[in-house]
Amino acid sequence: MTTDGILLYCLTNELNHTLKNGRIDKIHGLDKGQILIKVRSAQSSHQLLLSIHPVDGGLYISHQDFHAPSQPSLFTMVLRKHLSGAKIINIETFQMDRILFIHFATRNDIGDLSRKTIILEVMGKHSNMILVDESFIIIDAMKKYNHLISRHREVLPNLPYVFPPSSSKHNLLEYTMQNLIPDLVAQTAINGDWTIEKLLSAMFQGLSIHTSKTLLQYCAIPSLTLPEFSKMELTVLENCLASFKKTLQNPPFCAYIQYQEDIPHQVSLFPMDNTQICSGFSEALDAVYTTKNLLQSIQHEKQILRKNVSLRIKKLEKKLKIHQQNICLAKETDMERIKGELLTANLYQIRNGMKEIVVDNYYDPDFGKITIPLDPSLSPSANVSRYFKRVSKIREAAKISREMLYTLEKEIAYLDSVLLSVDEADSPIELLEIRDEILGDSTYQVHKKNKKSANPISLPLHFVSSTGLDIYVGKNNKQNDALTKSAEGHDLWLHTKQIPGSHVILKTNQGNYDDQSLLEAALLAAAHSKGRDSSKVPVDYTFKKNLRKPNKAKAGMVTYESNQTILVDPSKQALAKIMNTTKKATDK
């Protein structure tokens, strides 16, 4: 998400209204360069989150639950020493840039009033958080470096604070609009055929390309180069910027969340398509970052599960290959047996120390000769026994391998279904269920010792067919088992034929269902299977009463009989059509 100076300026006005004169209650250091400051005011308490993350840097009031590390960082302890019990005086930005000052009133070691300031520099990978005294002498910084790292300035304790390199950009709040066109012409001469949003971003401090673009879209100004603008369009542009400047000079401001595929994606200052108004910028930022952190944690957990399950599949496939080789080797033992029998028949010809012997092959229709290798260190009878023992060993290994083959193939099929469940999961609860099922990691169990607390339960997908019949789709093996167990005997059960996939239940009217609902349920079964990218996917269906759960069977594994098969095409066009006719229901 883009955090520019304009957004931070609007945010500081909001934070001043909420946090001014509030006292610091607690300070926690979080991961990824974040500091959480708990502020207590007369009305309520707030959590002010400061971050120097290269992508998500900034500050806002958060309502998330954070877990601080057991060992605080040195910078966190310095903040606690100097700011515990301090009062927030003011929060401001520096000339519309991405530099924020949070001023505190506190007392020094001898009890005299003093002033401390946290300087938050939100500048991508160069972001930093610095604590200075009233003379702007650095007390400590989250990132400390000398001239070996930066030629412009040193950030070290007891040195005066030096601002980052300044630019020649204009401050929009102090800008005279009569100079807009000449300045745009000058920028065009420097930057060539840049579009208008890039030119404005290069001209004004704190105005990112994203904010510039949304401002122009809000004012219905096209994204063109300067020579392509007409005089009327330039007048509209000037009026648009003048209106935006007036808005910035007269807070409060409106904050909007911009959605992308129903997910909070960006904070905007303007109402656009797929935007929703919020009560404030902190609420909007908290919603965006909460969703982003949740999605990132889900993706991280998915990667861990995929890695563990894929590693287990790889090991099982290696074992499977060995057993398959044993079975293939057993098919070739006839020649070893023949050699043993020929040696038995010609035992009288074998002498100690012989490396090979040539004998008549009476198994050959042409009665040809055959050369049989011998071990010179063994006696004649031992050489004969060696061939028969080798045959016996290979056949015994093949017998065991045939027994193991079925078990390994079933285990690999089960783990393939788990991988599909990982891909289908879209919530931490579902991933928790998969982890508990596969890895048995006690750190992911939810207070099993407490009988009053129960593990969170995830719900399967619920659809309603075009004719009004309920369709349930399990997203992992735990949900599949729960679906099968809760279904009535006359309900229809669907699953892709010999392909890992979700269990689908079509709720019937005492065993009565229509072909359209069956087709829709079969398409959903194919779409939530490993065969989703195939053109023709066979889907088995039968009544739930025909299912059997074998003893000691793994989660999601069932046997069935009296089934029928339907071929469906889970293409994007077919799924789009099915999604238009079915509607996703909400389980309460």
pLDDT digits (tens, 9 = 90+) for 346-401: 888 888 889 989 988 888 888 888 898 999 898 988 988 988 888 888 888 888 88
Give the domain range for residue 385: 326-415
Query: 364 and 248, same structural domain?
Result: no
Res 198 pLDDT > 90 = yes
What number of residues does the chain have? Answer: 588
Q: How far apart are CA 87 and CA 119, in angstroms?
A: 16
Query: 334 and 251, same structural domain?
Result: no
Position 277 scores a pLDDT of 92
Query: 577 and 530, same structural domain?
Result: yes
Q: Which helix (H) or strand (E) holds 564?
A: strand 564-568
What integer best gives the mean pLDDT of the chain?
A: 88
The confidence band for 585, taking pLDDT boundaries of 50, 70 and 90, is low
Percent above pLDDT 70 for the chain: 94
Least confident residue range of 29-43, 302-316, 573-587: 573-587
Q: For 533-539, what is the mean pLDDT?
A: 89
Residue 376 included in any domain: yes
Per DSSP, the residues of 439-462 read T--GGGS--TT-TT--------EE
Residue 153 included in any domain: no
- Sheet with 263-268, edge to edge strand ranges: 263-268, 255-260, 275-278
Bridge partners, 462 (sequence order): 472
Residue 313 included in any domain: no
Query: 480 and 392, same structural domain?
Result: no
The confidence band for 134, taking pLDDT boundaries of 50, 70 and 90, is very high
Res 444 pLDDT > 70 = no
Contact by Cβ (8 Å): 540, 560: yes
Cα-based distances in Å from 204 to 32, 164, 174: 30, 17, 11
Residue 445 included in any domain: no
Q: How far is CA 69 from the centre of its chain?
A: 23
Residue 117 sits in a domain of what CATH number? 2.30.310.10
Cα-based distances in Å from 57 to 74, 121, 156, 240, 577: 20, 9, 21, 29, 42
Query: 131 and 24, same structural domain?
Result: yes
Query: 548 and 498, same structural domain?
Result: yes
Q: How far apart are CA 101 and CA 367, in angstroms?
A: 101
Residue 556 CB: number of other CB atoms within 10 A? 25
pLDDT (tens digit, 9 = 90+) per residue, 38-73?
A: 999 877 899 999 999 998 899 999 998 888 888 999
Percent above pLDDT 90 for the chain: 49
Residue 548 included in any domain: yes
Contact by Cβ (8 Å): 523, 552: no
- Maximal C-alpha separation, the chain: 118
Residue 453 included in any domain: no
What is the token pair recorded at 16?
Answer: 């001043």
Query: 338 and 212, same structural domain?
Result: no
Position 447 scores a pLDDT of 37
Residue 203 sits in a domain of what CATH number? 1.10.8.50
Q: What own/partner pairs with CB < 8 Å and gap ≥ 24 does 188-194 have? A: 188/225, 188/226, 188/227, 193/225, 194/225
Query: 131 and 15, same structural domain?
Result: yes
Which of 120, 141, 162 lies at the terminal end of a domain, its last residue?
A: 141
Query: 128 and 14, same structural domain?
Result: yes
Which of 141, 164, 180 lies at the terminal end of a domain, its last residue?
A: 141
The confidence band for 588, taking pLDDT boundaries of 50, 70 and 90, is very low
Position 449 scores a pLDDT of 40
Residue 301 included in any domain: no
Query: 134 and 34, same structural domain?
Result: yes
Residue 193 included in any domain: yes
pLDDT (tens digit, 9 = 90+) per residue, 3-45?
A: 899 999 999 999 999 999 999 999 999 987 999 999 998 778 9
Which of 415, 446, 472 lies at the terminal end of a domain, its last residue?
A: 415
Query: 137 and 53, same structural domain?
Result: yes
Number of domains within the chain: 4
Query: 575 and 466, same structural domain?
Result: yes
